[in-house]
């Protein structure tokens, strides 16, 4: 069964450093998402992306964050200058369509630890 | 998205059916009811969704009340692998397609 993959599984970085989290969505999917989950808290939506554009973003997704689809397979989340509060699990998801009847497939996540 | 209410936790014995309730009294006519689950240390996983009629798939069944103000996710025979947090999510028929997760119900399965 096709699956979403994410690398690395765990990233440790120092405060103020830039990080790039990578995702490979399911190959025929057109819609891509990033979510995050701070330890012990809810899963929170960050951004959705379609046709090389952001289609929706949350208040969390400020100027420190950016997303990109640099080639036909990867989807990345960049945090320009990490803060301690960025420590969380980051989940990438993809869906075939953006219709409400289509499910989102999630990757296993990248654990980001900012020290 | 409209608000849902779920119990914080539930327990089930292995190989017995589990009924996970969800209240959504402010649901609108075009809101779909989705269920996702999150196994320990994994990303969320789609389980099932429905609009008005009851639905079955290989993972579970979804029973929707006639007034649509509540629904129940049914796992017919709980296994240890079903221990997870289960999220009931309402998704609008049009507009935003992000998933809005609540705290969900943490299901423990007792061997």
The pLDDT assigned to B47 comes to 97
* Cα angle for residues B33, B24, B47 (degrees, 5° grid): 30
Q: Is the dihedral of CA A85, A86, A90, A96 positive or negative?
A: positive
Residue found under tokens 């689950």 = B37
Instruction: Tell me the pLDDT band of A60, cut-offs 50, 70 and 90.
Output: very high
Are B51 and A101 contacting, i.e. CB atoms less than 8 angstroms apart?
A: no
Q: How confident is the model at residue A72 (pLDDT cuts 50, 70, 90)?
A: confident
Q: Is A109 on the interface with B (CB under 8 A)?
A: yes
Cβ–Cβ below 8 Å for A106 and B45: yes
B2 shares contact with chain A (CB less than 8 Å): no
Does residue B1 have a pLDDT over 80? no
* Cβ neighbours of A101 in B, within 8 Å: 32, 49
Per DSSP bridges, beta strands A19-24 and A31-37 are unpaired
Largest CA distance in chain A: 41
In the block, tokens 């979510």 appear at A35
Share of chain A above pLDDT 90, in %: 86
């Amino acid at each position: 069964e096709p699956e979403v993959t994410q690398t690395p599984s765990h990233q440790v970085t120092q405060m103020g450093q830039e990080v790039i989290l990578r995702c490979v969505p399911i190959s025929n999917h057109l819609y891509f998402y990033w979510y995050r989950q701070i330890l012990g808290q809810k899963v929170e939506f960050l951004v959705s992306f379609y046709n090389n554009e952001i289609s929706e973003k949350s208040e969390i997704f400020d100027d420190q964050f950016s997303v990109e689809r640099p080639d036909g397979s990867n989807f990345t989340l960049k945090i320009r200058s990490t803060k301690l509060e960025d420590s969380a699990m980051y989940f990438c998801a993809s869906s075939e369509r953006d219709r409400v009847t289509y499910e989102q497939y999630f990757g296993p996540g990248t654990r980001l630890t900012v020290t | 998205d409209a608000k849902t209410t779920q119990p914080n936790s539930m327990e089930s014995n292995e190989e017995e059916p589990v009924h996970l309730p969800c209240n959504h009294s402010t649901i609108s006519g075009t809101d779909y009811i989705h269920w996702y689950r999150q196994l320990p240390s994994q990303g969320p996983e789609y389980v099932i969704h429905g609009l008005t009629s009851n639905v079955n798939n290989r993972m579970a069944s979804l029973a929707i009340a006639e007034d649509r103000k509540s629904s129940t996710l049914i796992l017919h025979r709980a296994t240890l692998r079903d221990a997870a947090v289960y999220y009931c999510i309402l998704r609008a028929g049009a507009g935003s397609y992000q998933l809005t997760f609540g705290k969900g119900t943490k299901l423990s399965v007792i061997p």
